[in-house]
Homo-oligomer: A and B are copies of this chain.
Amino acid sequence: MSKTPVVRRMNADDAGFTAELDQLLSWESVSDAEVNQRVVDIIAQVRSLGDAAVLDFTRQFDGVEVDSFGQLELPQARLQQALENIEDDQRAALQTAAERIRRYHEHQRQDSWRYTDPDGTMLGQQVSAIDRAGIYVPGGKATYPSSVLMNAIPAKVAGVAEIIMVVPTPKGEINEMVLAAAAIAGVDRVFTIGGAQAVAALAYGTESVPAVDKIVGPGNIYVATAKQLVFGRVGIDMIAGPSEILVVCDGQTDPDWIAMDLFSQAEHDQDAQSILLSPDAEFLDKVQASIERLLPTLEREDIARVSMAERGALIQVRDLDHAVEVANRIAPEHLELSVADPEALLPRIRHAGAIFMGRYTAEALGDYCAGPNHVLPTSGTARFFSPLGVYDFQKRSSIIFCTPEGASELGKVASVLARGESLTAHAKSAEYRIIKD
């Protein structure tokens, strides 16, 4: 146990709490000027040199030794081989997870609709899938087969015709489970490239990598910056920062469970954030003791320790209503309501990526297999972003079909408004459709 506290303690009733909380939460999801300029350069090179630039960057950044770009694409047979290579229980777990994820996401599919106005005008919305999606799967430190399922399955459910996956393989290291997950999810093509260069290749296309319509999935600061810069050329899902969890506990859950739930974020990344809110000061002491006792048992102790010390907090609140208020201010990625009656709190939760209800619903269950997506808005962006979903791979076209009489009536209104805007070609175009008495 170290001498410095393993995690900070705060009280939400203290003067200055709001400022202290804002300080703790502050995170610039966008990158600094230097990172930005490097990413701008990488994108420019990929746009002008295509495969050759991507190949160069991949050798340079990922330490991958290949002779030609062709070696950076994995054939379908390789994915199938991975599916056979992994352990039986791993394959079964991936398949169970895939099936649950598919079932959940099918509820998100949106359908076209239309209705007819009293004047006979048909109005509606045609919903369709995007043609081609690019999914970014992080490699390196943390390679997540579950991320493949979470990115690709919603695209499949939406009806995307072609899914292109990119996953970096630093020093050529490849994760068999990632490839097996790609096989299960029905990914069409896989390139072992990553970073800003992979995002640029997907956005603009190269000789080998087809340009996609939308790029989704989490990545590091270079990936996040590149996604922001290509936004508009292609769609993107969101800009992801480090992972976070906020646990609201009434003090009746096993403190070891809560400590481990906090660690399940803290072990991701030194920048990850784990915060506990409870009205029970004695319980906060117990969780702190659990944290101190359990930290040394973690395989990723070093990462978790830094994360807990730098960005973690155990915060005392007045009561559960106060906890909800603070939670809405934080707008957390993951929110665990580890309380006796989570349904009582749910309607008042305004901002959260995913909500884990009750003592048994550990956030880790949601990460893998409960069904909902684990690609979630971070850093307070749950105020406006949603979990990755089928809706990210669908788009809408408005439909208007006027009868001659309906066009005549609407034409009169449009004409007045168009002339009010001094747009007389608009007005005349509408007026041509007005039926002369």
B423 touches A267 (CB 8 A): yes
- Which one of A232, A354, A383, A414 has the greatest number of beta carbons of chain B within 10 Å? A232
- Judged by a CB distance under 8 angstroms, whether A244 is at the interface is no
Cβ–Cβ < 8 Å partners of A299 in chain B:
422, 424
- Judged by a CB distance under 8 angstroms, whether A426 is at the interface is yes
- Judged by a CB distance under 8 angstroms, whether A353 is at the interface is yes
A233 to chain B, nearest CB (A): 7
Given A357-B400, A372-B398, A389-B396, decide whether A410 and B365 contact each other with a Cβ distance below 8 A: yes
- Which one of A213, A371, A414 has the greatest number of beta carbons of chain B within 10 Å? A414
In the bound assembly, the distance between CA atoms of A261 and B414 in angstroms comes to 13
When all copies of this chain in the complex are counted, the total is 2
Cβ–Cβ < 8 Å partners of A363 in chain B:
429
A52 to chain B, nearest CB (A): 22
Residue-wise interface mask of A (370-402) relative to B, using a CB-CB cutoff of 8 A (1 in contact, 0 not): 111100100001111111010100011111111
B366 touches A235 (CB 8 A): no
Cβ–Cβ < 8 Å partners of A182 in chain B:
none
- Which one of A304, A342, A407, A413 has the greatest number of beta carbons of chain B within 10 Å? A413
A150 to chain B, nearest CB (A): 11
A361 to chain B, nearest CB (A): 4
* Pick from B370, B402, B413: contact of A360, CB under 8 Å: B402
Which residue from chain B places its CB closest to the CB of A93 in the assembled complex? B416
B411 touches A232 (CB 8 A): no
Chain A residues proximal to chain B, CB less than 8 Å: 29-30, 89-90, 93-94, 96-97, 100, 104, 107-108, 113, 115, 117, 121-123, 125-126, 128, 130-131, 142-146, 177, 213-214, 224, 228, 231-235, 238-239, 254, 256-257, 260-261, 263-264, 266-268, 298-300, 304, 335, 342, 346, 349-358, 360-373, 376, 381-387, 389, 391, 395-404, 406-407, 410-411, 413-414, 416-418, 420-430, 432-433
